[in-house]
Copies of this chain bind each other. A is one copy, B any other.
């Protein structure tokens, strides 16, 4: 393990794939979808706590989400909130956090950059991988790659070569979301990993790479952040830089990309119904995923996703959980902004 490590948790994102629970002003990381009724954000912080004290956890958030972020993390020192004036995607957000570390005299610290809206089933395994990736992060630009368990077409992949440095393998290339045939090849080949969105590097190294590959982002750090470009670290740095390494991980990673993903991490009842939130009464009803605080009574329905909030309810077959996007698009088209 490096002498000094920090967790940098990216909590400024948006997204509507978990509508109606996720909204413009209440993105996914603030939803209580982690086991025990915690928010995904709080669970993310709890997951790194065995490796570093709360004093060394920075949370990057957008200005408008500051109150909700503080509420979700009551123990976090106020100074450890890194506030983006406006959301500008991951590359500027991470550079902002790296500069904060420089300001603290910790430019040589290794940052573990973590999304705030994922779930991890096996936390011990996750922490072991985190230690390996932090070690490799002293010398390289490192990501954690998830060993694929299915030919998923919704993720990007990393192809790794045979060169090794400790637990890390050299990344040969980044691959965009593949079609099914290609995804099957990747799973079979064995040297492809899912891009998890976790990154490990020294703060000063990241700032140097930002200066080199994204000079406009670097400039925006000293000028007007809002005027800088919005760009992801994958596209802006990782896919262009040399010296990219990946530590493979298997720890029940789940990006909670659709409502059905909850079925992978939450326990189910004997009929296979998964309930997150309030009580469920299921009569002759099986394999439903039900989210929300209200009592939900199901009679004779199977394989549904049901998500209820105070002002909106979604009902769809599990197989069409990704069609939530069509609902959100329709709401935008009809200018039903109060539901967005």
Binding site for B on A (CB under 8 A): 20, 279, 281, 283, 292, 294-301, 304, 306, 308-317, 320, 323-324, 326-327, 330-331, 336, 339
Let me know if B312 and A295 touch, CB within 8 A.
Answer: yes
Contact across chains for A281 and B315 when beta carbons are under 8 A apart: no
28 of the cross-chain contacts (CB-CB < 8 Å) are A20-B295, A20-B297, A283-B326, A294-B308, A294-B309, A294-B311, A294-B312, A294-B313, A295-B336, A295-B339, A296-B312, A296-B313, A297-B313, A297-B314, A297-B315, A297-B316, A299-B315, A299-B316, A299-B323, A299-B326, A299-B327, A300-B320, A301-B304, A301-B315, A304-B315, A306-B315, A308-B313, A315-B315
Contacts of A310 in B (CB 8 A): 294, 310
CB distance A300 to B327 under 8 Å?
A: no
Assess the A330–B20 pair: CB atoms within 8 A: no
Give the chain B neighbours of A308 by CB distance below 8 A.
294, 308, 313
Report the bound CA distance from A283 to B316 in whole Å.
10
Interfacial chain B residues near A315, Cβ < 8 Å: 296-299, 301, 304, 306, 315
**In the complex with contacts A313-B296, A320-B300, A323-B300, A283-B330 CB distance below 8 A:** yes
Copies in the complex: 2
A324 to B296, CA, bound (A): 12
Partner of A298, one of B300, B311, B316: B316
Interface centre among A294, A309, A320 (most CB of B within 10 A): A294
CB neighbours (8 Å) of A281 from chain B are 327, 330-331
Q: A299-B323, A308-B308 are in contact. List 15 more A-B contacts (CB 8 A).
A: A283-B323, A283-B326, A283-B327, A283-B330, A294-B313, A297-B315, A297-B316, A298-B316, A299-B315, A299-B324, A299-B326, A299-B327, A301-B304, A301-B315, A310-B310
